[in-house]
Amino acid sequence: MNAETPVCQLLQRQDADYRGWLWVAPPRDAWLEGGEGVLLAADQAVLAAWRQRGRPALSPFDDDAPAPPGVVLFWPKAHALGEWWLLWLCARLPAGTPLQVVGENQGGIKRVLKVLAALGLGCRKVDSARRCTLFASSLDRVALEPDAAWTSFEAEIGSERLTLASHPGVFGHGKLDDGTRLLLEQLPAALPATGEVLDLGCGDGILAAWLAHRGHGVTAVDVNGFAVEATRRTLAVNGLDGEVLAGDVFDGLGERRGGARRFDAIVSNPPFHQERAIDYGPAGRLIAEAPRHLRPGGRLVLVANAFLPYPDLLERAFGGFEVLADDRRFKVYSARV
């Protein structure tokens, strides 16, 4: 089977025995998923795909630490997240474990040389092709702990102040996103005073915390395991309650007797990027499937970059919609069942 993505095509042409190696934060690629390696990822969609094929798949939040013959780290767009993965691997895996780091040149893979040097880890270039580069090193104990990557910051929303937990790779890392702020400004008038609200793509938990602070019953879902943990920490540090689940769009909710779980409202600032590529898939699923997860009279309220083609999707799913706010950069949409 041939590799599908450029980074995996570079790996496939190596004269290396990757059996039993740990693939860390890889893209979806049938060559990887049909091979003999072990997955380590925080992306619930990737984890689910491997597990559905009966392949071994681990999360960094699992208690069991692997001891593979080698590791390949796929360098992410968020460089701080790549640095966290390096710290986690150095802290959890045996010293001397062979390490390879691969990534696209446009994604900043060449910065890995400086990152590894700063950690005191040697590095050599192995190969380059398909506008990607592969480096080799080995793991060792370093002075920094991965938990040091967790930070917090204060966010003011009107007269309210909330503390948000933040981690590299989580949307809005270290700041309140402008689109989310615009959404928050519309929610008091758009939502019922009480009721159960679903926050899809919860990120650092700002929407979930704001909703819980206002007295709503909150369920928050995100495909990113770091976002799930960040939202749990955000709710806890603010003394708030809420259910936080890992899952891809609505998959994390499961089914209840009688059908899908339903809510009085769904709120979201949905993602539209997969690394550097535009991907409307998750937002498209959110909009298309939202009506079956809303109670009669329930409402979907979401914010999106103004150029995104969500009006057509909302029209097809709900038969109509309204624009609650438009600052030329972002639009807040509302649709009711």
Per-position DSSP letters for 149-184, written without gaps between them: G-EEEEEEETTEEEEEEE-TTSTTTTS--HHHHHHH
| 133, 156: one domain | no
Of 111, 145, 179, the residue that ends a domain is 145
Q: Angle at the Cα of 247 (from 44 to 67), degrees rounded to 5?
A: 30
Looking at residue 173, what is its pLDDT?
A: 85
Q: Coil, strand, or helix at residue 325? A: strand
CATH of the domain at 100: 3.40.50.150
| 283, 163: one domain | yes
| 108, 188: one domain | no
Q: Is the pTM of the predicted complex or chain greater than 0.85?
A: yes
Asked whether the beta carbons of 253 and 260 are under 8 A apart, the reply is: yes
pLDDT in tens, 206-251: 999 999 999 999 999 999 999 999 999 999 999 999 999 999 999 9
Domain that holds residue 246: 150-336
| 69, 104: one domain | yes
Rounded Cα–Cα distance for residues 188 and 211 (Å)? 10
In a domain, 321, yes or no: yes
Counted domains in the chain: 2
| 131, 204: one domain | no
pLDDT in tens, 251-297: 989 766 668 899 999 999 997 644 445 556 789 999 999 999 999 99
